[in-house]
Structure 1
Amino acid sequence: MKPVSAPLLRLIALVFAAGLAAAALATPVAAAPLQTAVFSGGCFWCMEHDMKAIPGVVSVQSGYTGGAVDHPSYEQVSSETTGHYESVKVTFDPARIDYGFLLYRYWKLVDPTDNGGQFCDRGPSYRPAIFVANDRQRKVALQSEAEAQKQLKHGRIIVPILPLKAFWPAEDYHRDYAHTHALEYNLYRAGCGRDATLRKVWGQG
């Protein structure tokens, strides 16, 4: 048997290396796990609608958090006796959007100078708040708050950053309300002055 020449050996080695590289590229890379964030900003119909429009957000669920009663109902929360906030749990893809940018968008959806409610909805359950699940979220939230303060046209941010408690999903009829009850939702939103107030607070439009 004739010995294999050096050029042929190099060619074989290159072909073998190319095959390994192709196999590596063909191997699927596991996607980063989805993450969640919880915010309050007044009416959860509006928060759900607006946060669903953010690229990288996978889903938004209306619910209640921050209170002392398990499985609270809407009637209990709106009675202002349970300590809960109307809230949204945002599930997002960290490969497309990070928590810091999600916070940046959150600030522009609320009046952070008002801790008596939001827009026409008054009472503790309508107050804005950021609920953090860990120290990393708290650190990012504090940094985001400082940046948002620089962009305010007047007043100071008084939105609390609170440790996340249990999040209780809202009743089915609240979910995706802006879509399932579009006429009622749009009338409510316009009448509540949400968008007009946001333009004044942030100087948008």
Structure 2
Amino acid sequence: MKKEYAIFAGGCFWCMVKPFDEQRGIMKVTSGYTGGHVANPTYEQVCSGTTGHTEAVKIEYDADIISYAELVEIYWRQTDPTDAMGQFQDRGESYRPVIFYHNQEQYDIALASRTKLAESGLFDKPIVTQIEAEQPFYPAEDYHQDFYKKDPARFEMEELGGREQFKKEVWKS
């Protein structure tokens, strides 16, 4: 087993867990906060917009089963890469789309994938998802972990806030 990790931000972290959690080779998906200047922030602090953090997921995976490139492709299909300041009904810096890389290989894969997406003609607007060096990742409070399993009805309402429709129209998924 070759254990690796990836960090992605794509709006509400509740909606970013399930698509990865369901893949072969995924060991753990943790909701959390990254990219800011406050150590160990709370959900309330992040939502206040004063910490600089964005909601994200940290994915631990077996690279012998699923590749980082495959994870990046899954990531794109959960987001609107043309919306820099939020995703769907979730607005503001804490919901911005970012691929956080932790080594040169991840950076190169993410950049090549973003370039390919930009050249695909799938979108009329520019691809604005950022690719940034990872910063400390702070797990969110327990009640946010595996939210789609804990509160399926509320999770479904979040998904219906535009994300699900966008995925069907653009990604045909």
TM range (shorter): over 0.9
Q: Name 2:164's counterpart in structure 1.
A: 195
**What's the TM-score once normalised by structure 1's chain length?**
0.80
Please give the alpha-carbon distance, in whole angstroms, between the structure 2 residues aligned to 1:51 and 1:151.
26
Tell me which of 26, 30, 53 is aligned to 1:61.
30
Deviation, structure 1 residue 77: 0.2
Deviation, structure 1 residue 151: 5.7
Please give the alpha-carbon distance, in whole angstroms, between the structure 2 residues aligned to 1:201 and 1:114.
14
CA RMSD of aligned residues (A): 1.3
Q: Name 1:186's counterpart in structure 2.
A: 156
Q: Is the 8 A contact 2:19 2:74 kept in 1?
A: no
Q: Is the 8 A contact 2:99 2:130 kept in 1?
A: yes
Tell me which of 114, 134, 147 is aligned to 2:116.
147
Q: Relative to total residues, which structure has the larger strand share, 1 or 2?
A: 2
Please give the alpha-carbon distance, in whole angstroms, between the structure 2 residues aligned to 1:102 and 1:138.
13
Please give the alpha-carbon distance, in whole angstroms, between the structure 1 residues aligned to 2:141 and 2:21.
18
Name the stretch that deviates more: 48-57 or 149-158.
Answer: 149-158
Q: Where in structure 1 do 4 or more consecutive aligned residues deviate above 3 Å?
A: none
Matches within 5 A, 1:111-150: 111-149=80-118, 150=120
Please give the alpha-carbon distance, in whole angstroms, between the structure 2 residues aligned to 1:110 and 1:60.
17
Please give the alpha-carbon distance, in whole angstroms, between the structure 1 residues aligned to 2:96 and 2:169.
19
Deviation per CA, 1:29-74: give whole Å up to 9, x if none: xx33x10000000000010112112222111000000000000000
Deviation, structure 1 residue 147: 1.9
Deviation, structure 1 residue 132: 0.5
Q: Name 2:39's counterpart in structure 1.
A: 70
Please give the alpha-carbon distance, in whole angstroms, between the structure 2 residues aligned to 1:189 and 1:108.
13
Deviation, structure 1 residue 134: 1.2
Aligned length: 172
Larger radius of gyration: 1
Q: Is the 8 A contact 1:104 1:148 kept in 2?
A: no
Q: Which has the higher contact order (CA 8 A, sep 6+)?
A: 2
Task: Tell me the secondary structure at the aligned position of residue 168 of structure 2.
Answer: helix
Please give the alpha-carbon distance, in whole angstroms, between the structure 2 residues aligned to 1:163 and 1:43.
20
Task: Tell me the secondary structure at the aligned position of residue 158 of structure 2.
Answer: helix
Task: Tell me the secondary structure at the aligned position of residue 124 of structure 2.
Answer: coil
Q: Name 1:3's counterpart in structure 2.
A: none
Q: Is the 8 A contact 1:153 1:200 kept in 2?
A: no
Q: Relative to total residues, which structure has the larger helix share, 1 or 2?
A: 1
